Each structure stands twice: as structure tokens, then as C-alpha cells.
């Protein structure tokens, strides 16, 4: 079974974020789980999708509640 990975540049492009934002998120413990091996940061596709799923909302009120609680 092959596990799909994205590097920092690919994930930044997927989410239209800067790579610096992802770097900051990692240092603050925000965002999807990541793998660091031999100085390279990789994100497993399954972890990216799980993080995206956790960010889904059905109303703006729900988003405000999640932000206040987090």
C-alpha cells in the first residue's frame, strides 16, 4: 500500500497559503499532522483530508464557536 504525500510547497499551493504560514502553524501546533524526515517536511494525504474534514462548518456561528473554544 502506497501512502500519498504532499510537501510544504504543494500543500501551500493547495490551500493558497504561503509556505511561511505552514511553517508558523507547525511551530504553533496548528494544522495537519506532518512527518519530518531527513530535514524534509511531508504531509500525508490522509492527514490533510482529516484536517480539512475537521474544519468543515455548516454555519458561520458554528465557526465562531469553534474558534472561541480552540
Give, in degrees to the nearest 5, the angle at Cα 23 between 21 and 25. Answer: 70
pTM: 0.79
Owner of C-alpha cell 510547497: 9
Domain count, the chain: 1
Which H or E run includes 24? helix 19-28
Domain range for residue 36? 5-69
The partner residues of 7 in beta bridges, in order of sequence, read 42
Residues 3-49 pLDDT 10s:
799 999 999 999 999 999 999 999 999 999 999 999 999 999 999 99
What CA–CA distances, in Å, run from 66 to 2, 17, 27, 51, 69?
34, 21, 21, 14, 5
Amino acid at each position: 500500500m502506497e501512502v500519498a504525500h504532499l510537501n510544504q510547497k504543494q500543500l501551500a499551493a493547495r490551500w493558497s497559503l504561503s509556505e511561511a504560514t505552514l511553517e508558523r502553524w507547525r511551530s504553533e501546533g496548528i494544522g495537519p499532522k506532518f512527518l519530518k524526515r531527513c530535514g524534509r517536511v511531508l504531509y500525508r494525504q490522509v492527514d490533510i483530508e482529516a484536517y480539512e474534514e475537521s474544519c468543515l462548518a455548516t454555519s458561520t456561528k458554528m465557526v465562531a464557536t469553534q474558534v472561541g473554544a480552540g
